[in-house]
Structure 1
Amino acid sequence: MATIKDVAKLAGVSTSTVSHVLNRTRFVSESRRKLVEDAVRELNYRPSSIARSLKIQRTKTFGMLVTASRNPFFAEVVHGVERRCYEQGYTLFLSNTEGDVKRMETSLDALEEKRVDGLLLLCAEVNDDIIRLLEAERSVPIVVFDWGPESDNVDRIYDNSSHGGYLATKYLIDNGHTDIGCIYGPIERRSSRERVDGYHKAMEEAGLPVRSEWMIAGDYDCEGGVQAMVQYAAMDKRPTAVFATNDMMALGVLSEAGRQGIRIPDDLSVIGYDDIYLVRYAAPPLTTVKQPKTELAAKAVDTLIEHLDSKRTKGKMIIVQPQLMERESVKKLG
């Protein structure tokens, strides 16, 4: 197996020049760079990742923990993280915790033993045990998506859900709707609470009443939207429009509305949240609020790298802005 000395000998340069070319740590003239690159190809040289990590004190790897979820939002964020890691020259180790706290703890320990440079956590739930794991003394920086403990030990990144909820509800109001319901996710989730807050803000700003029977708790899954639509269909007076605080529940509403003979958007307008890939192919295509998943993913990876480079010890909060995506599931009244 070829060594860096073999490459240097064949290229007629020093081993330090070879190192600078491979690691891009110092300017090397184009002619010398070409000699090194040609030698690397001819000898099929592969640098030792272990030796390199010992020298630069980084492994150029990140670990990512994801809880099991049927929501495509998670897969789309993971895809964005993988892409950004590749662009930044990092390898990503992915672990699915399936919502099990013990498995999360085991995965965290295993990733740290592999000497990953940082950790990303994308979790569908939050409880005291998970918060304890995050607040424990850890040797690498951590970025948490969507939710996170009010802790100085981790970086947190998520979209401005309160503004997103406001955008969704105001869009319905601007289209002439005054009877507006809301299907919200688990209230212990930050995103759910904030999206409902945005709904209330828009309704209050417009001087519109919020009817308690039109506020229905869901589960952030399609079934939650199905069950909410069953309740709406049985009401003597139902809203003309509904804001579902995520797309999965909105898809459940569309599905059950079809079974109930309720036409979307003629009989009921629906707006969702997240802009998962599937909703543009719903019948009708779903109007929704887009979480900038690509931006979320890129900022998460970049934040880990910035944390490593700056060697800061305090975590920070990063918020990205949502965007309304107008399609065909909302009817304009009047």
Structure 2
Amino acid sequence: MATIREVSKHAGVSVATVSRVVNGNKWVSEATRLRVLESMEELGYEPNSFARSLATNRSNTIGMVVGDLSGPFFGPMMQRAEQVIRDAGKHLIITSGHSTLEEERDAVQFLLKRRCDALILHLDLMPDEEIIELCDKSPLPIILVNRLIPELADRCVSLDNEAGGYLATRHLLDLGHTRIAHITGPLYKSDARDRLAGYRRALETAGVPYDESLVVESDYLESGGAQALDRLKRREAEFTAVVGGNDLMAIGVINALRQQGVRVPEQCSVVGYDDVVMSAYFVPALTTVRVPVDDFGADAARLALKLCEGASDTAQLRFQPELVERQSTLAKGEVMAENLSLV
């Protein structure tokens, strides 16, 4: 591989001039710049990206922390973010927080040491106060995804999850269901708490008493949905509908109900949350609340690029949820003459 000295000799310029061209310094004439670029191409010279980042204080990379590198939620978000960033001539570096506080902290520090130009963070466990301190101390722009911290509102790309929980529950109430179970995600996560709050608000608005025996905390996994249904059965809870904290748990509930001989939606209606790709193809197709995770990724990437260029006129990006009605819910009056006890 050619060296910078060989390029300078080939182009008939100094090593300093070659360095200025590599680093995009404007104090080089166009004729000289073209001559240096031609020499670099002819000799196959590849600038050292790390050295270049030290000289320009830019690495042309954006760092991203997600909760998990697998599953149907984060994939679309990472894909769209990467597409936007690549279209801008930069690269995306992705690492995972693995749903533990120490791993989240380690992932953030890893990206800071990589000299990324900006960070896009999906953090579940790091406290608000710690994130605020991180943003205050970091010289890099930091964007938060699927989380709203009021002090950092113009750096947050989030969804109104309380409204989403309300929509899911209101849909079942409108269908005549009053005994509605709710399987939450892990309640240390703000989105799970917000969806539960929306569930409670919908019940209160409809004049239906909140019954804590109908609420089970789980883990956002398909197996967690089935396990939560088993816990409801052991409680001898009576219900005709279920709100799942996400689509995977809702699918786990439907599969478990099917194994018990309970028909969905004829005997029990089920609503999910996220609208992952498989939801439309599952049988029965899942009624769910759409979370625009691909838009999360794209808008977070655009905001990161904008802040990298020194923009200050940013605004809070707050998405509103949308109910997607499919075949997993049905009006109670159309199905049964009396309440069904799933015990």
Secondary structure at 1:327 match in 2? coil
Cα RMSD between the aligned structures?
A: 3.8
Pair 1:54–1:92, CA change in 2 (3 A):
same
> Which runs of structure 2 are paired with 1:52-71 in the superposition (5 Å)?
53=53, 57-68=57-68, 71=71
Give distance in 1, aligned partners of 2:10 and 2:67. 45
Alpha-carbon shift at residue 52 of structure 1 (Å):
6.3
- Unaligned ranges ≥5, structure 1: 10-14, 26-36
Q: TM-score, normalised by structure 2?
A: 0.76
Moved over 6 A (4+): 2-9, 37-48
Give distance in 1, aligned partners of 2:306 and 2:193. 30
Which residue identity is paired with 2:130? R
Q: Is the Cα–Cα contact under 8 Å of residues 272 and 289 in structure 1 kept in the other structure?
A: yes
Secondary structure at 1:93 match in 2? strand
Q: TM-score, normalised by structure 1?
A: 0.78
> Which runs of structure 2 are paired with 1:153-172 in the superposition (5 Å)?
155-172=155-172
Alpha-carbon shift at residue 48 of structure 1 (Å):
6.6
Alpha-carbon shift at residue 207 of structure 1 (Å):
2.5
Alpha-carbon shift at residue 102 of structure 1 (Å):
4.1
Deviations 1:78-103 (A, max 9, x none): 22222222223220111223345444
Secondary structure at 1:59 match in 2? coil
Secondary structure at 1:72 match in 2? coil
Residue aligning to 1:246: 246
Give distance in 2, aligned partners of 1:42 and 1:328. 62
> Which runs of structure 2 are paired with 1:199-210 in the superposition (5 Å)?
199-210=199-210
Which residue identity is paired with 2:317? I
Residue aligning to 1:194: 194
Give distance in 1, aligned partners of 2:167 and 2:9. 62
Pair 1:60–1:262, CA change in 2 (3 A):
same
Q: Is the Cα–Cα contact under 8 Å of residues 162 and 198 in structure 1 kept in the other structure?
A: yes
> Which runs of structure 2 are paired with 1:185-334 in the superposition (5 Å)?
185-234=185-234, 238-310=238-310, 312=312, 317-333=316-332, 334=334
Residue aligning to 2:86: 86
Which residue identity is paired with 1:323? E
Secondary structure at 1:274 match in 2? coil
Residue aligning to 1:118: 118
Secondary structure at 2:280 match in 1? helix
Pair 1:84–1:206, CA change in 2 (3 A):
same
Alignment pair present for 1:180 and 2:198: no
Secondary structure at 1:119 match in 2? strand
Which residue identity is paired with 1:169? T
Alpha-carbon shift at residue 224 of structure 1 (Å):
2.6
Q: How many residues align?
A: 316
Alpha-carbon shift at residue 112 of structure 1 (Å):
2.2
Give distance in 1, aligned partners of 2:101 and 2:236. 44
Which residue identity is paired with 2:255? S
Give distance in 2, aligned partners of 1:255 and 1:39. 64
Instruction: Give aligned-pair identity as a percent.
Output: 31
